[in-house]
Structure 1
Amino acid sequence: MPGKGNAVLKGDCKGKCHPSTINDSFVETRTRHFKVNGKPLYFNGFNAYWLMCMASDPSTRVKVTDAFQESSKIGMNLVRTWAFSDGGNKPLQTSPGFYNEDMFKGLDFVISEAKKYGIHLILSLVNNWDDFGGKKQYVQWARDHGGQYLNSDDEFFTNVLVKGYYKNHLKTILTRRNSITGVDYKDDSTIFAWELMNEPRCQSDLSGKFLQEWIVEMAAEIKSIDKNHLLEIGLEGFYGESMPEKKQNNPGYEVGTDFITNNGVSNVDFATIHLYPDQWVPGASDEARAKFVEKWINAHIEDCDSILRKPLLIAEFGKSSWSSGYTVEARDEYFGGIFNTAYESARNRGSCSGTTFWQVMAEGMDNWGDGYQVVLDQNPSTAAIIAKQSQRISSLNSSTNLEFSPVAVEK
């Protein structure tokens, strides 16, 4: 809220985090690592899908500032958010090729404000799910166009007209000139990476062929417009047919993606995984879920280390207060364990280069809550764990010789 700029969170970095700044240099990859100006770059960050929507209304824009301000005080340096809202309520894209300028100005504000606080952004370009339109809306637009007989929302990945709509959206976003900064998005180093889709799935084709061809085509499309920024797919991390023996790591089902083959595309710069054991392995004991988490993360780190030779970002994880048996202590332990695993890989110069948990919200956003939200100044124990991770990540960004010290979970 306004006037809280000098508040100190329990767990504030207290000078131990080196303040993040963003200059005109773009982040690059060097084999398994991120680098900027030739120096290693590691991340501790969060998701906040709601930023553009809040920023589109001048009366609620302060929520974006609050979130960036509070998170930067505890050293977070990366935010993943939506650069889409297709049809429906508060659309960015009202219909194919037509855009709501108020929403676009909201996204302009998000980017300009992130730079003020030294925060990089991952901008996701469409949703697999129905929220904010997603692939379902694109397919419906094609049906409404006439002459398009589309059986499944998964035809988003194969239909020529639908792919044309998506390519137009890519070009519109990448070439947008920020109304505040005057910088085209494709030339703005505040943006760390583009994401093709939030959690792509194509369960009508478990062979993975359709999705793989779409990734190749759309990754090339983005790189033809923007050679400055990194690109990732938005994958959850499910294994597929290319290495069947690895499917044992999946949580009991497949979704038409292939972590190895998809991320092996040359225009894809780094890999991502998501992690929701409460949803993915329901009914399992706490011990079984903990083992799944450890196995899931380590399997993907090993694959990025030795097979893909690309960086890995743990791009979504969280624990819902709506889940049975939830406690803040359980969430803190869950976060702490993931932070430790990510940091240990990074400290040993492995491929895991950061995390972005789901999700931060500002005060006064109760109607937007999904059970996973963390309001930093209302959750001091969780903020303390996040701040400790920021300290360690900050040290990695400024030193090459560190000892591993686990995150301590406050009891």
Structure 2
Amino acid sequence: MTYIAQKITFRIILCCWFIFLISAANAQKTAFVRSVDHQFKINGSPYYYIGANYWYGGLLALEKDPVRGKQRLINELDFLKSKGINNLRVLVGSEGEGKINGVDRVKPVLQARHNVFNGSLLKGLDFLLFEMAKRKMVAVLFLSNNWEWSGGFMQYLNWNGQIDNETLKRKLTWDEQRDYTSKFYSCEACKTDYQKQLDFILQHRNTYNGKKYINESAIMAWELANEPRPMRPDAISAYKNWIYATAGYIKSIDKNHLVTIGTEGFMGTEENWLLFKEIHANKNIDYLTIHIWPKNWGWFKDAPTAENLPAVIEKTSAYIKQHENIALQLKKPLVIEEFGLPRDGHAFDPSGTTALRDGYFNHIFSLWSNSRTHNGAIAGCNFWSFAGSSRPINGQLFWKDGDDFSGDPPQEEQGLNSVFDSDRSTWNMIKTYFNINHSALQ
């Protein structure tokens, strides 16, 4: 080989090596969270996290006032990152307008009218994901809702003649709500409408970085809905079919992201362990979720106290353990993605103490920490719910249009389960766990 040929060959090899290094670096930057056996992994390393529910995060940047909008969001993301939070569970968008089941629903709305989507509403979520990516944070995005506060399944039923307008607006009994909502899974038109909104979301292109959502590395997972329940035993078959079909459809379009259901666990599957295991065994479901609500489930009466907290913790431990065993059997990760407790004395004001809540959170975090230490299946925790710099309005229990978004949705008393940025004892505890357990995203 001549000197000139050797020189050209060397330059070609050098150029190829340079291209390889750039490609490797870009791949590292755009790595997606994976589910491998019973663990999450990113860049080949285990990913265990303490995260927060930040359901309104995609709405903040839509505020006209930048102080209440984009600047608040930036400040709160910086705050969360400083405490070790790198995973946020967020609502993609709501359906319909006006009263539903006797309460005001979330505004502004992605699909205010039947099959009419307001693409500009996703610019708020675009900004959130863009800013999260800067901080190496990832989002779990839930696509609809079993419950009324964001429209969800009841709105689809209304649009397709299964619930009339008058019934939709009034406060339903629990049995009525179960009867109506369970019809979603057998309503073909309702499921088609859900898929239309799903298509609109998956094909959306982020206005800040130009990426389609299916290629957005700041998204960890798509969640079919918030707490989808069959609601009635006779809906179980249609419920399963909808889960399998929808998860498979998402996977056929999006090869990058994880998919999960969004269930509460045993309490959200008609108290049916076999059903919970069966739906999460599906090949297109990447990990299991559970929610834990001691107040809603009657694990204490009136308010948490020092006397009833040990029993609540005992029931919580058993609930987690039973689901963890199923996760290990299925070789998939488990996320405790909603859990909350009111303030001491059931107070709503941020000045109220949080000693009992801190004790409760600490117990759940300790189970997660032990799982991380031993490479276990409890991979993540998302407490409910981060309220940031918002504060309840004196003399007003429920959210109304124009109020600052907070951790508690419109149908719940503002301050009920919110963790404010001023809750120092809670944040000090969370930061302690972060210092002990650094995650793969850091």
Q: Does the alignment reach a TM-score above 0.5?
A: yes
Distance 1:160 1:179 in 2: 33
Task: State how far apart, in whole Å, the 2-side matches of 1:108 and 1:58 are.
Answer: 16
Q: How do residues 39-50 of structure 1 correspond to structure 2 at under 5 angstroms?
A: 39-50=45-56
Within 5 Å, give how 1:25-64 maps onto structure 2.
25-59=31-65, 60-64=69-73
2:427 paired with 1:383: yes
CA contact (8 A) 2:183 2:235 kept: no
Query: Do the aligned partners of 1:25 and 1:37 also contact (CA within 8 Å) in 2?
Result: yes
After superposition, the Cα gap between the structure-2 partners of 1:129 and 1:35, relative to the gap in structure 1 and judged at 3 Å, is same
Deviation at 1:236, TM superposition (A): 0.5
Change (3 A) 1:83 1:176: same
Is residue 2:367 matched to residue 1:341? yes
The 5 A counterparts of 1:233-312 are 233-238=261-266, 254=271, 258-283=275-300, 285-305=308-328, 307-312=329-334
Residue 380 of structure 2 corresponds to which residue in structure 1?
Answer: 354
User: Structure 2 length as normaliser, TM-score?
Assistant: 0.76
Instruction: Say if 1:211 and 1:257, in contact at 8 Å, map to a contact too.
Output: no
Shift in CA distance, 193/240, structure 1 to aligned 2, threshold 3 Å: closer
Instruction: Give CA-to-partner distance per residue, 1:351-390, whole Å, 9 cap, x none.
Output: 11111101112213435334111122x1111001111122
Q: Is the 8 A contact 1:203 1:254 kept in 2?
A: no
Quick check: 1:45–1:76 contact (8 Å CA) kept in 2?
yes
For the pair 1:372 / 2:400, whether they are aligned, the reply is no
Partners of 2:144 and 2:216 in 1: how far apart?
Answer: 20
CA distance in 2, matches of 1:273, 1:381: 25
SS of the aligned residue for 1:99 comes to coil
Structure 2 matches for 1:30-109, cutoff 5 A? 30-59=36-65, 60-88=69-97, 89-109=107-127
Cα offset, 1:207, TM superposition: 6.8
1:280 deviates by 1.0
Alpha-carbon distance change, 154 to 327 in structure 1, aligned in 2, over 3 angstroms? same
Distance 2:133 2:248 in 1: 27
- CA contact under 8 A between 1:201 and 1:255: conserved in structure 2? no
Give me the TM-score of the superposition, normalised by structure 1. Answer: 0.82
Matched-pair contact (CA < 8 Å) for 1:82–1:124: yes
Q: For 1:108 and 1:362, how far apart are their aligned partners in 2?
A: 20
The answer to whether the 8 Å contact 2:344/2:353 transfers is no
CA distance change for structure 1 residues 324 and 75 in 2, over 3 Å: closer, same or farther?
Answer: closer
**Residue in 1 aligned with 2:226?**
198
Gaps of 5+ in 1: 1-21, 242-252, 400-411
Question: Match of 1:51, SS?
Answer: coil
| Paired amino acid for 2:428 | A
Conserved 8 A contact 2:95-2:111:
yes
Report the Cα distance in structure 2 between the residues aligned to 1:322 and 1:94, rounded to whole angstroms. 38
Q: Report the counterpart of residue 248 of structure 1 in structure 2.
A: none
**Kept in 2: contact 1:204–1:256 (CA 8 A):** no
Structure number with the bigger relative contact order (C-alpha 8 A, sep ≥ 6) is 1
Q: Any idea what the Cα deviations from partners look like across 1:192-239, whole Å, max 9, x if unmatched?
A: 000001001122226722211110010011111101100110010116
- Aligned-residue sequence identity (percent) comes to 31
Matched residue of 2:208: which SS?
A: coil
- Pairwise CA RMSD: 2.6
Give the aligned partner of residue 194 of structure 2: 166
Q: Which amino acid aligns with 1:328?
A: T
Q: Structure 1 residues 144, 211: CA separation in 2 closer, same or farther (over 3 Å shift)? A: closer
Cα distance in 2 for partners of 1:379, 1:365 equals 12
What number of residue pairs does the alignment pair up? 361
Instruction: Return the index of the structure with the highest Cα Rg.
Output: 2
In 1, Cα distance between equivalents of 2:90 and 2:391: 16
Unaligned runs of 5+ residues in structure 2 are: 1-27, 98-106, 169-178, 302-307, 393-402, 407-413
